[in-house]
Chains A and B, each alone.
Chain A
Amino acid sequence: MKRRFVETIALALLRGTAFAVLLATILLIGSIVRGGAGVITWEFLSATPTEGMTHGGIFPAIFGTICITLLMIVMALPLGVCAAIYMVEYAGSSGLARVIRASVNNLAGVPSIVFGLFGVGFFILFIGRSIDRVRGGGLLFGQPAMLWAAATLAVLVLPVIIVNTAEALTAVPRSHREASFALGATRWQTVRRVVLPQARAGILTGSILSVSRGAGETAPILFTGCAYFLPRLPIVHLGVPFTGLSVPMVNPLDQFMELSYHIFIMATQSTDAAATRPIQYGTTLILVALTFILNLAAISLRVRYRRGLESR
């Protein structure tokens, strides 16, 4: 009888805590939606901040977030995917693979602010300043810029991409590879024609998750390129030779505004933090919505993909 009683209580408690976590999530999101929903208008999304950032919209921050995330993906995705391919398909379980794996795990555990320090010390001061020294004529690369912020974020999301890609590659049944080898395919042919097509959805999931992670990070970009306020978009007009036309292009050497940083400074150092609360809530809601859409896409993609694999 007593055993039965203990079991009932204990299982109820476990269930209770699980739902408490669910509740906490709902409360967190609920408070942000409640605070921010009223602020979101087309103007809020499309206008620039005005009057010392106490009015106006957040378009430059949205634009900056999108640019830096795309740039980050361009830098991190090919590297991460290739690293994962090497780790799973070539290195196997050799000593080297173990070292790589350990590095990936440790990279995932490095605090994000340390990436920020690294970004300043390595990308800006070492690489950037070296380029400037070779180039001559003043500072251009050796200062905070979107390029370096994106590079810092790329290092940060690298383990996310590698882990997810490796997972996707491992999920491809071994028999498929063996069949391909038996047909005389080389290792690369097998990877390219057999493994990668099947792992594509998994790799996509990984890259979406990394986008969402990168879009939400603040600490690594604090010193590597974020601007408190930028009255224009980080765009330059590049002249096309011989045509006299100019093409607008995102300028990776410019600073930028960014959503998560915007939330941080608006909440702590804006000119009137109490009066601009609605803007802060609105910005938060946009950032949360952005990451949620990405996460939901990744989760549903993964669920579909897993089902596909299991039914095979």
Chain B
Amino acid sequence: MKMRRIPAVAAVFACGAAGLAGLLAAADTITVKGSDTMVILGQRWAEEYMKAKKDVTIQVTGGGSGTGIAALINGTTTLANSSRPIKAEEKEAAKKNGSDVVEFKTAMDALAVVVSASNPVDHLTMQQVGKIYTGYISNWKQVGGPDKRILRYTRESNSGTYVFFKEHVLNNRDYAADAQTMPGTSAVAEAVAKDPAGIGFGGVAYFAGNPKIKILKIAKDDKSAPISPLLAGGKVNFDAVWSETYPIARYLYVYSAGQPKGAAKEYLDWILGPEGQKIVEKIEYVPMPGEARAERAAAN
């Protein structure tokens, strides 16, 4: 009765799995994995590109830059999104697995340091931010705010944002142990919006336009003037990012194992071209200087 049917079903599945082996390689599928910061961007790119090219499937997953690069090393993804440059040992590991990693700078991103809109503090120096996140400053009154314990929000250690911030703002010191790690930048945004004593950081695209969040002006050191990553109208200040006057900005990378070929190459060319860069601008990241500048010059 029932018992007899089950092995038959199992056999069908097994044969199916075996039969698929050959077919799968033929499909034009690009898998993209990595940075959560770039998930919005990556998905928009994919959606638009697939609208234009029906025969290509692009599969975008997040999980953090480390996840993407790890997947690239392990050979489980075509392309890896990363919000930090690949590390030497990661490059080495990939080489050991038989592929040279090729890097593409696809966009730029300003990292915003944010607090609740109700917090009177509106600018900090790089050093103050570093001291807050390493635990040397733990009360808002030490930086000119109310007498309140600072609640630090950071990202998971697999995110490029976490690593970038640790290297460039914390000078490679450890985060304070009580910093709450959030699984995504939007979670940071949500937490800071709800928390009058909170501080967070992340790609400016996630915070711009949220009325409950204040984006702080950041000064390079005691002598420089604090600069906001946004223009007065709420748009991202491209020039401050390109000229590095806003101190916490970075490139957003796409990595490929070996020189990209076929569908993947076409996709990357499209990303770096005007259409891809327009999408970057649309969702409040910063397009690559060269391309965007050339385009503006052409428009003038």
Contact = CB atoms under 8 A, between A and B. Distances in A.
Interface string B16-41: 11011101110100000000100110
B300 to A, nearest CB: 32
A16 B57 CA distance: 57
A230 B75 CA distance: 19
Contacts of B39: 52, 228-229, 269, 271
B91 interface: no
Given A74-B10, A249-B16, A251-B20, A231 B184 contact: no
A232 B17 CA distance: 19
Nearest to B194: A274
Interface in A189-223: 192, 196-197, 200
A268 B186 CA distance: 7
A265 B39 CA distance: 12
Given A238-B16, A268-B182, A269-B183, A229 B43 contact: yes
A180 B10 CA distance: 31
A140 B21 contact: yes
Given A52-B40, A274-B190, A78 B6 contact: yes
A5 to B, nearest CB: 47
Contacts of A196: 1, 3
Interface in B146-199: 182-184, 186-187, 189-190, 193
A52 B77 CA distance: 20
B6 A74 contact: yes
B57 to A, nearest CB: 5
A253 interface: yes
Contacts of B62: 228-229, 265, 269
Interface residues of A, number: 45
B201 to A, nearest CB: 16
Contacts of A107: none
A70 to B, nearest CB: 9
A236 B24 contact: yes
B186 A77 contact: no
Interface string A131-165: 00001011111011001000000000000000000
B44 interface: yes
B96 interface: no
B36 A269 contact: yes
Given A236-B20, A269-B183, A228 B63 contact: yes
Nearest to A252: B17
Given A53-B43, A249-B16, A272-B186, A236 B23 contact: yes
A75 B9 CA distance: 10
Interface string B251-269: 0000000000000000000
Task: Please indicate which of the listed interface residues A75, A144, A228, A238 has the most CB atoms of chain B within 10 Å of its own CB.
Answer: A228
A19 to B, nearest CB: 33
B280 to A, nearest CB: 14
Given A140-B21, A200-B2, A269-B187, A228 B60 contact: yes
Contacts of B190: 273-274
A295 interface: no
A268 B16 CA distance: 36
Interface residues of B, number: 44
Interface string B202-233: 00001000000000000000000000000000
B7 interface: yes
Contacts of A252: 13, 16-17, 20
Contact of A238 (B20, B57, B182): B20
Interface in B85-136: none
A268 B190 CA distance: 9
Interface in A62-95: 71, 74-75, 77-78, 81
Contacts of A75: 10
A270 B182 CA distance: 12
A138 B50 CA distance: 26
B23 A238 contact: yes
Given A78-B7, A231-B50, A249-B16, A270 B23 contact: no
A255 to B, nearest CB: 7
A271 B42 CA distance: 12
Contact of B25 (A53, A140, A229, A270): A140
A56 to B, nearest CB: 11
Contact of B47 (A50, A71, A200): A50
Given A231-B46, A268-B184, A147 B17 contact: yes
Nearest to A269: B184
B83 interface: no
Contacts of B245: none
A73 B183 CA distance: 32
A227 interface: yes
B24 A251 contact: yes
22 contacts: A50-B47, A74-B13, A78-B6, A140-B25, A144-B76, A227-B61, A229-B59, A229-B60, A231-B47, A232-B57, A232-B59, A236-B20, A238-B16, A238-B23, A251-B20, A251-B24, A252-B16, A252-B20, A255-B59, A272-B189, A273-B187, A274-B189
